[in-house]
Amino acid sequence: MPYLIPHIILGFYLMATLLYLLRTIYDRPALTALGLRLVFGAALAQTCFLIWHFVKIRGAWPHGYFEFFQLTSLLLAYAFIGLCFIKRFYRSGVLFLVTIVLFNALSYVQHTWASNHLEGLSLFTQQAHIAVSFLCLLFYSLAAIITILFLSSERQIKHKQISSLLAKLPALTTLETLQHKTMSLGFVFLTLVIVSGTLFSKLQTGHYFDWHQGKQHGSLFCWFYFALLFCVKSSKKMHGHRSIVYSLFGLILLVLLFFIGFI
């Protein structure tokens, strides 16, 4: 029964991640305030659980992957809470929380693996991986379409030759905001693609990462590219045409890697 607590903690971290994501979309500070409270409560519960767990196994240091993943996510959670008191960052906060959720999910799979529920969990993980891969490609494809519309509209405005079709589009700033929000949703599903793919690899091969598997390399490369892009954009050091061009490069790369089998 006590080992249900990590699953509840994972749920709290997921809810906090969703709230921070909604904050970037709807621009409501109350969402991040509630999300931070959820993270704080989850971190306290996780601390109590780990103290109980280490007392039970009579050890003060991790004995396996389960303890390692739990401790890593807990340290990240406390680092996140501390940084929020120094500087309230909600866009970068999503990346922090996604990483916390990743390590919690890995600990969950490690514990389930040890419980010998391999066959059913493997099938569920495979189905989840396919579903989130489709959603990831969908949102990034929509973002690519919006990006092309932005560049086409910008070019026609510059040359003062606006077609009747593009004249019906919203302002460039609105298109840029819509593209950013669509890419944010795509990034969340890309993270879930990596998580589900990593878990499925563990269930099938016994290893979380296979250096000979091109799909994992391609997914991680795209994830780090978009994570870096979001960090630069959130610092307001890049916006407008330059931001759109870098986004388009990443979107084209991701779609190409997907269709040639590297994601």
What are 198-222's pLDDT values in tens digits? 777 777 666 677 666 667 777 888 8
Are 103 and 73 in contact by the 8 Å Cβ rule? The answer is yes
pLDDT at residue 261 tops 60: no
pLDDT level of residue 41 (50, 70, 90 thresholds): very high
Q: Taking the CA atoms of 133, 137, 140 and 146 in sequence, report the sign of the dihedral they define.
A: negative
* Residues 46, 70 contacting (CB under 8 angstroms): yes
pLDDT above 90 for 27: no
**Backbone dihedral region of 162: left (phi > 0), alpha (psi from -120 to 50 degrees) or beta?**
beta
What is the pLDDT at residue 40?
92
State the Cα–Cα distance between residues 100 and 173, nearest whole angstrom.
Answer: 32
Say how many CA atoms lie within 13 Å of 108 toward its Cβ: 23
Specify the higher pLDDT residue, 13 or 119: 13
Q: What is the pLDDT of residue 110?
A: 63
Reported pTM: 0.53
pLDDT, average across residues 21-30: 75
DSSP label at residue 236: T
Any residues with CB less than 8 A from the CB of 242 and at least 6 apart, and which? none
Report d(CA 174, CA 166) in Å as an integer: 14
Highest mean pLDDT among 23-27, 40-44, 85-89, 183-187: 40-44
Q: What is the pLDDT of residue 113?
A: 55
pLDDT greater than 70 at residue 6: yes
Q: Are 40 and 31 in contact (CB under 8 A)?
A: no
Rg (CA), the chain: 21
Domain range list for the chain = 2-114, 123-259
Q: Average model confidence (pLDDT) for the chain?
A: 76
Q: For residue range 115-173, list pLDDT tens digits in order.
A: 545 555 566 666 677 778 777 877 887 888 888 888 877 777 776 666 665 566 667 77
Q: How far apart are CA 22 and CA 236, in angstroms?
A: 19
Per-residue pLDDT, 263 = 56
Region of poorest pLDDT, from 21-35, 162-176, 220-234, 243-257: 162-176
